[in-house]
Amino acid sequence: MTRSNIDLLLSRRSVLAKNLGKPGPNKRELRTILQAGLRVPDHGRSEPWKIQVLDESAQLALGTFSAQLFQRDNPNATAAQITFERERPQRSPILLVVTFQPNKKKLAKIPELEQLLSSGAVCQNLLVAIQALGYNAQWLTDWPAYHPEIRQFLGSGKDAQIVGFIHIGTATLLPKDRPRPEFDDIVSEWKPED
């Protein structure tokens, strides 16, 4: 691994979706990002993940549906809360929806957990590729990721789970670095007992 790759990993930082503006990646750059996203450990080629690309019009449709759903499920919601939900998927030039659907044909040999972990690796690879091309991103979930009607609206199978909404754009405000885990609290060397 070259020094620049290490620097990229050591400096990776999420930018709040509300602080992501234009430009976003062009079609060629986005294809490169997506190809990098698919270069993950995937035991037995389960391929339990799908990625949907939502442009501004698709984000608007999702936002409109989300706001209606939120208002229905929260009858006492304020106008500001409903507006927030309408705008939630529209905060960046490009939105990726990463879903996980277990490959049932492979479950006998490849446990669902391994398949789910591979889906998380897709999200991480996407984030690193986005940063490598000079853009910024945030990986989110929140209630829309867990609502079955959102999954249905997006055309996902009934066994599918949304593992991430990944907002992509250019930072309009760079975040301050946040405290990171203490290395020695996380990493230890295990040795067998004598």
pLDDT digits (tens, 9 = 90+) for 125-158: 999 999 999 999 999 999 999 999 999 999 998 8
Report how far residue 105's alpha carbon sits from residue 86's, in angstroms, rounded to the nearest whole number. Answer: 38
pTM summary value: 0.92
Segment 162-189 mean pLDDT: 92
At 177 the pLDDT is 84
List the structure tokens of 182.
């203490």
Q: Which helix (H) or strand (E) holds 162?
A: strand 161-171
Residue 25 has pLDDT above 70, yes or no: yes
HSE, side-chain direction, 13 A CA sphere, residue 185: 3
Nearest to 24 by CA among 135, 99, 133, 100: 135
The per-residue pLDDT for range 50-108, each reduced to its tens digit, is 999 999 999 999 999 999 999 999 999 999 999 999 999 999 999 999 999 999 999 89
Q: How far apart are CA 72 and CA 113, in angstroms?
A: 34
Domains along the chain with CATH numbers: 10-55+92-172 (3.40.109.10)
Residue 20 has pLDDT above 60, yes or no: yes
H/E element, 140: strand 136-140
Query: What share of residues in the chain are helix, strand, coil (percent, to 5)?
Result: 50, 15, 35
DSSP, collapsed to helix, strand or coil, labels residue 16 as coil
